[in-house]
Amino acid sequence: MKRIIFYISDVGWGHATRCIALIEELLKENPKIHIIIRNRTAVKILEESFKGQERVEIAPTQEESDIGWGKSYPIDKKKLRSEVEAWIRRWDSFIEREVKFLKGKGADLIISDTVPQAFEMANKLSIPSVFVSNFNWWDEYAYLFQEEKGLERIKEAYSQASWAFVLPLESNNKALGLFERTPLLARREDQDTVRNIRRTLIKEHRAELIGVVSTGGLYEADDHLKEAIREISQQVSILWITQERNQQLGQGIKTVRAPSKIFRHFLAASDFGIVKYGYSTASEAIVSKLPCLMLYRPDVLEDCCATEELVKAGCCLRTPLGEPFTIPLDKLFKLSFDGLSKRMENRGAQHIVRRLKERFL
């Protein structure tokens, strides 16, 4: 039985949810593999997703494998730069621990969603490694800080990947070597579950519309978002679905918190979304044809590239995170998904697994 070590970014939830879709496909198509997941921040949703699955082992890392953007917005670039430098200083000790772990597990293949150290470790052990993501940290930080100095170790690590699968909604990926572009990678919805959720929510809360609101698990709802929700809720009876724990939208606002494991089905049961851009939410909204107003961070390359692509395709609206806005329901319900390319079909898991079987398994 071959052993795959799967490193998942510790930033947000979107990396874990799309990797769940890929791992499920790997297990279905390859009965003779065992998958060991390395992650620290998404352990709960991973354990819920693979409960009772004997061929999946959740092995939390000792520390977070990457840094991300911080937990407040606007991004404090000076503070983040200091945190990135500290992360790079810990690089060698992280790799030393992980190499021992990999040797003990007898890894045959390493897959990494954005975690750059994984490729350096694989290279040290002469194990093939595969990148799966729509962005990488070197390009993101070089864009944010407007310089490449001090980021060379990150770029060099990505260049050591044996192969790379670049997902849709991609930003620049100049750090990668050999790569191919894939279709969309997202969790699927269960239509019966979606219909039951919608029927129950409408009946119990007497709502005319269901709106999903999400800040991606990183940020609290700010005053601009709360004000926009308050204004639109005075015009029509809306039940708001949230994912984040302790997300307060305001007094008198009908709110239901969806469990993380089935948030994907609650999203599909909604009429529209007001969401911080994130690959997971965006890709699942595309699959469910859910019109969204996306809140994006202008200083984050991935946010800019992905939301611009979706706006051009005519399937979403966008507004900068942290700035005043209104919720234009009339425009949201006029959006169309007809302008999306074939690449936006949810066939990424099947494509990647087929190519992995051809090259590495």
pLDDT in tens, the chain (361 residues): 899 999 999 997 789 999 999 999 999 999 999 999 999 999 999 999 999 999 999 999 999 999 998 877 899 999 999 999 999 999 999 999 999 999 999 999 999 999 999 999 999 999 999 999 999 999 999 999 999 999 999 999 999 999 999 999 999 888 898 899 999 999 999 999 999 999 999 999 999 999 999 887 667 788 899 999 999 999 999 999 998 666 778 888 999 999 888 999 999 999 999 999 999 999 999 999 999 999 999 999 999 999 999 999 999 999 999 999 999 999 999 999 999 999 999 999 999 999 999 999 8
Q: Are 198 and 167 in contact (CB under 8 A)?
A: no
Domain with CATH 3.40.50.2000 in the chain: 2-185+346-359, 191-344
Distance, CA of 261 to CA of 185 (rounded, Å) = 17
Q: How many residues does the chain have?
A: 361
> Does the 191-344 domain belong in CATH 3.40.190.10?
no
Q: Are 360 and 32 in contact (CB under 8 A)?
A: no
* Alpha helix positions (H), 33-90: 43-49, 77-89
Q: Are 202 and 256 in contact (CB under 8 A)?
A: no
Distance, CA of 201 to CA of 209 (rounded, Å) = 10
Structure-block tokens of residue 181: 């572009």
Domain 2-185+346-359's class?
alpha beta
